[in-house]
Amino acid sequence: MSTAHALSQPNVKDQVSAVEWQTRVDLAACYRLVALHGWDDLIFTHISAKVPGTEDFLINPYGLMFHEITASSLVKVDQAGNKLMDSPYEINPAGYTIHSAVHEVRHDVACVLHTHTAAGVAVAAQKQGVLPISQQSLFVLSRLSYHDYEGVALNHEEKARLQADLGATNFMVLRNHGLMTCAPTIQDTFLMMFIFQRACEIQVMAQSGGAELVSIPPQILAGAKAMAAGVTRSAEGLGGKLAWPALLRKLDQQDTGYRS
């Protein structure tokens, strides 16, 4: 059963441009896919996407579970966090701090995805961070940064430090906190998080076995970084555009309510 009916959220399709509506549908789908994969954390964590052609962005309504979010329920805010359309919902203040920090300086980024998964936080709590022990880790390590924990992200002064740590990377470990990905499209941002999450799961599982781990040779890691640089320049990105239709087919088998 669609959750859209239960929330009684008015449809805003006729109040926004066609490109904004498509962004809303894709972002709502991203929320639902995060929930479907079990990466959500009740009503916490967040995914944002820029409204094309503007500096404004869409983010989740604070208080809704990820599997409840629809295209119409997403909240549109400006860089200062002001709501730009009527909405019965507020936004997560910590989410605004993190996401506005990225959108403010990374003009190549259209989407930011942040999670608190058990495997992600487990790796974020490890001093060595992501280890080069899986093929998945190679993609992550090619464009990875770290940001030290400063408490719940409510201090706007932290934004400058997060921006400096992120630099031009697309994967970030928020130490003792979780994972973050950002990319030019919602599709690539989701696929990057899939790879990031899987790398962390593999690492925690490999460590739990107690056996000595085999690291990928440095020269292969260096080659992966060169390859990733080429992929970044490619219009196809990491393949999110290719995988997205299949992901939507899987999602639509569960519930099409995100499209409303």
Q: What is the mean pLDDT of residues 150-164?
A: 87
The pLDDT, as a whole number, for residue 4 is 40
The pLDDT, as a whole number, for residue 231 is 55
Q: What is the mean pLDDT of residues 45-66?
A: 95
The pLDDT, as a whole number, for residue 235 is 40
What would the pLDDT profile of 194-237 be if each residue is shown by its tens digit? Answer: 999 999 999 999 999 999 999 999 989 888 777 766 554 444 45
The pLDDT, as a whole number, for residue 241 is 85
Residue 247 has pLDDT above 90, yes or no: yes
Residue 9 has pLDDT above 80, yes or no: no
The mean pLDDT value of the chain amounts to 90
Domain ranges (residues) in the chain: 7-259
Residue 3 has pLDDT above 90, yes or no: no
- pLDDT-derived band at 2 (thresholds 50, 70, 90) equals very low
Rounded to two decimals, what is the model's pTM? 0.91
Residue 46's DSSP bridge partners are 114
- pLDDT-derived band at 118 (thresholds 50, 70, 90) equals very high
Residue 8 has pLDDT above 80, yes or no: no
Q: What is the mean pLDDT of residues 233-255?
A: 80
Q: What is the mean pLDDT of residues 41-70?
A: 95
The pLDDT, as a whole number, for residue 228 is 66
Q: What is the mean pLDDT of residues 170-189?
A: 97
User: Looking at the domain 7-259, which fold is it?
Assistant: L-fuculose-1-phosphate Aldolase (3.40.225)
Q: What is the mean pLDDT of residues 97-116?
A: 95
The pLDDT, as a whole number, for residue 101 is 94
Residue that wins the pLDDT comparison between 214 and 8: 214
